Structure 1
Amino acid sequence: MAVETAADRALFVDADEFGASVTWTSASGSSTFPAIFDAEYQLLTVPGLEAGVEASGPQILFPSSSLPADAAQGDGVQVTDPATSAVSFFTAVEFKPDGTGMTIARLQEA
C-alpha cells in the first residue's frame, strides 16, 4: 500500500516544477496529464554474448491513475516541455507500475 496520497503524487509531476505535459492517444481517444520525462539507463544484451551495449531510452513517470484504461503498446504519446514548448512524439513500448501508485512507461521515438 502506498504511503502517498493521490494529491502527493500529483505534486510530484506538477508541470510548474519539473513535470511535462503528456497527451496519450489510445483507441478510445486522447487524454492529457502531467508526467516526468527523462531517459533511463539501459544495458542491452544479446543471449549467449558476454558483452552488452549501454544506451538510454525515453520514458515518462506518472500517477498510475492517469493512464487510460485501454492503454496499450503502440499508443501514441506526445510530450510537451513546459519550459520551451517543444513537442516530441513517441510510441508506448512498455508499462511498469512501481507498486507505489506511479507507473513508468518506456517510449520509442515515433
Structure 2
Amino acid sequence: MILQVTDVKSDFVNDLLTSGRNLEIAGSTMKVTGEDPSVGVFFVNAAMQARIKLEASDIVTNNPSEVMVVIPELAAGTYEIKVVTQYAGIIILKEPRVATLTENWP
C-alpha cells in the first residue's frame, strides 16, 4: 500500500514531481522484490495509459516501508505510481501484487 509520495527536492507531498530528482514513496510491504517480469516501479500516464518502468538502477532505496526512486522525465498530467512486488515480509509471493497511488501532477 502506498500512503504518500514526497518530491525530495521541493518537499511537496502528493503534489509536484521534479524530473531527475528523488521521489520518496512511503507505504507498507512495498519492497521491490521478485523474479516476475512485471515487478518494478511504474509511472503510468492516466490519459494515455503510457507506462514508464524504471530501471533497477533508478531505485535508490528499497525497503518495505520506503522506496526511493529517481523521477523520470514526465509530461504534465495525471499519473499513477505503481509498485509491483512479490514481497510479503518473510515470504515471496507466487503472484505479484500492485500498490498504486494516483495524483494530478502539473
Q: Same fold (TM over 0.5)?
A: no
Question: Which band: TM-score by shorter chain?
Answer: 0.3 to 0.5
Name which structure has the greater RCO, CA cutoff 8 Å, separation 6+.
2
Larger radius of gyration: 1
Q: Which has the higher helix share?
A: 1
